[in-house]
Amino acid sequence: MRFGAHVGMGGGVFNAVTNAINIGCNAFALFLKSPRRWESPAISAEDAETFKELCKKHNYNPRTDILPHGSYFINMANPDEEKWQKSFDCLLDDLKRCEQLDIGLYNFHPGSHLGIADTASHETAENAGVRRLADGLNRAIKETNFVRVVVENMAGHGNYVCGNLDDFHTLFKLLNDPKRVGVCIDTCHAFAAGYNLNNEEEWNGFWKEFEEKVGIENLAALHMNDSMAPLGANRDLHQKLGWGFLGLECFRLLANDKRLEGIPLILETPLDGNDEGHYGEEIKLLEWLVGKEKDDPEFIAKSEEFQKLGFKSREEQAAKFEKKKTVKRKNEGKADISNMMKGRAKKAKKGD
Ligand SMILES: [Zn+2]
Ligand SMILES: [Zn+2]
């Protein structure tokens, strides 16, 4: 199992390799430029060489063990042509950086359809968004040589596409070269989008659905995060492993799942300050979970210990979610009453 984490690249991309080895990563993620800026200076040939040398020295195969994270601005589902093009240029720049560093995988967020349906093609906003994403991927693949573009699942918030497996099903049908595209499942996002993963039955149910709708051969990576918010809350709130609503059981199942062997398994859990040392501890924890049975007393004790640590934040988020649901129900109730009144007024007018 290639457990690793998203590490910093301050001072040059090559520093990410040292940061990764220092905390015991078997795979790692990094940014290839500032993720909150449209343009960044190119990576120098010298920096790229140092990066490749350090990978060799520390036994990372850049084609399989490194999963850079794309810029947050990229929105390949954007209905605005000009903004779509700007996103595409940024995506292509990211992909070229990967190939410069001999990196074989690249992960990014699929983007938002902004709630705008396509009147010309009569497509729903969601389908039009997925089609635009597929167009971008098809073009980007044509303009690059080997990097596999990995699309991350979203928490089902706002107008983001790919919060559900059906969107991925639609996406893969639209691809010219599906082997050059992969899926990254973020456990926190999946849970927030309504896929429960916190017990064996649900965990296996999710992967069965994944196999049916997407195909396990298209799974390229995982982001391993617990969730601070409850199931289906559509909130992208990462939590430390075992502290959230997924609990340690989810990560025990993950650590023992043969389907996940050989692909990058990346931590993006919250850090105290900027100390990546916590990732090192979580990697050790995951390695400890390999071969652990559900009823192992040590495992049970650790699960309970971590659940206690996350108790307060879970309570807070559960209360927020309940409040949101109540407001939603109230609004729906108001709409029902107003529709009823309208119906009655109509009937009265007709005279029946
Ligand atoms: Zn993620
Ligand atoms: Zn997230």
For residue range 299-344, what is the model confidence (pLDDT) as tens digits? Answer: 999 999 999 999 999 999 999 999 998 888 888 888 777 777 777 7
Distance in Å, CA 268 to ligand 1 centroid: 7
CB 4 within 8 A of CB 29: yes
Verify whether residue 295 is a known catalytic residue.
no
Q: What is the pLDDT of residue 31?
A: 97
Nearest-ligand number for the alpha carbon of 69: 1
Alpha carbon separation from 121 to 114, 125, 134 (Å, rounded): 17, 11, 16
Distance in Å, CA 269 to ligand 2 centroid: 9
Reading the block at residue 324, the tokens are 């949101």
Where b means 16+ CB within 10 Å and e means fewer, 212-222 reads ebbeeebbbbb
For residue 185, what are the β-bridge partners?
222
Tell me the mean pLDDT in the region 142-161: 97
How do residues 249-286 score in pLDDT, each as one tens digit?
999 999 999 999 999 999 999 998 889 999 999 999 99
The residue type at 103: I
Whether residue 351 is predicted with pLDDT greater than 60 in this model: the reply is: no
Alpha carbon separation from 57 to 7, 112, 226 (Å, rounded): 18, 40, 32
Whether residue 350 is predicted with pLDDT greater than 70 in this model: the reply is: no
Verify whether residue 69 is a known catalytic residue.
yes
Domains and CATH numbers, the chain: 2-309 (3.20.20.150)
Distance in Å, CA 223 to ligand 2 centroid: 9
Q: What is the pLDDT of residue 217?
A: 98
Distance CA 271, CA 228 (A): 14
Verify whether residue 236 is a known catalytic residue.
yes
CB 152 within 8 A of CB 109: yes
Q: What is the largest distance, in Å, between two alpha-carbon atoms of the chain? A: 87
Tell me the mean pLDDT in the region 82-108: 98
Distance CA 38, CA 115 (A): 24
Verify whether residue 109 is a known catalytic residue.
yes
Highest mean pLDDT among 32-36, 118-122, 206-210: 206-210
Q: How many residues does the chain have?
A: 352
Q: What is the pLDDT of residue 348?
A: 61
Whether residue 352 is predicted with pLDDT greater than 70 in this model: the reply is: no
